[in-house]
Amino acid sequence: MTDRAAAWSALATVRDPELDEPITDLGFVAELTIEPAVDGPGVRARLRLPTYFCAPNFAYLMVADAYDALAGLPGVASVDVRLEDHFAAEEINAGVAAGAGFGGSFPGQATGELAELRRTFHRKAHAACLERACRRLLAEGWQIESLADARLADVPESPERAGLLRRRADLGLPDGPDAPLVIDDGGAPVPPGQVAPRLRFARTVRVSIEGNSGWCRGLLRTRYETTEEGAT
């Protein structure tokens, strides 16, 4: 039987598409309740964002992913996920509940779906994870040129390795132990002379993501005058 802990764990798999962090860690889950019923429990979640004008495409991805994560729990009879305090909340909530997709949620205003946007964010997250993994190896004595010969197996078990493997899986990139560590967006190995520029770019991406994360956390705390201790 699904309980609140299981529902919270499901929401922890949902990541902000831009910040690449779980919405539970970011404080974006304002409320989570389980409502018992004869035919199975209903799960009710209320989500929030740092500002009233956060991009609607980002917001839609988060709400839709949260809905799918909770709907996938065993035995759940109903799911109600709603975004609050957002200028497009009505359209997003209705569209997600109806399974209308992003374009259907904003008829006449949005065209197509968000697969390519999601993939762009996955590429950025992969670059940031790659830089973290390489930085770990450099701290252990590797030379930057030698990273062209490094394999995924050379990265020790660590949060850096776990994050990199997750993003490789998201993008369908090589993720076996013998796969090259430093690759481009298409999965091709980066030659020795291009490793340093690739990592400089990846560092820029990582710093941008981490900076945006800190900024959003601060805005959320200011907006709701609260901490990131989780939903009630």
Question: Which tens digits make up the pLDDT trace of 42-64?
Answer: 999 999 999 999 999 999 999 99
Which pair of structure tokens corresponds to residue 88? Answer: 């497009």
Whether the predicted pLDDT of 133 surpasses 60: yes
Burial class (CB in 10 A: 0-12, 13-18, 19+), 139: exposed
User: All domains of the chain, ordered by start, with CATH?
Assistant: 4-113 (3.30.300.130), 116-215 (no CATH)
Tell me the C-alpha distance between 180 and 45, whole Å: 41
Maximum alpha-carbon separation in the chain: 64
State the pLDDT at residue 230: 56
Whether the predicted pLDDT of 228 surpasses 60: no
Mean pLDDT in residue range 111-138: 92
Mean pLDDT in residue range 96-109: 89
Tell me the C-alpha distance between 33 and 186, whole Å: 42
Query: Per mean pLDDT, which range of 51-55, 101-105, 107-111, 176-180 is the poorest?
Result: 107-111
Whether the predicted pLDDT of 34 surpasses 80: yes
Query: Per mean pLDDT, which range of 121-130, 191-200, 218-227 is the poorest?
Result: 218-227
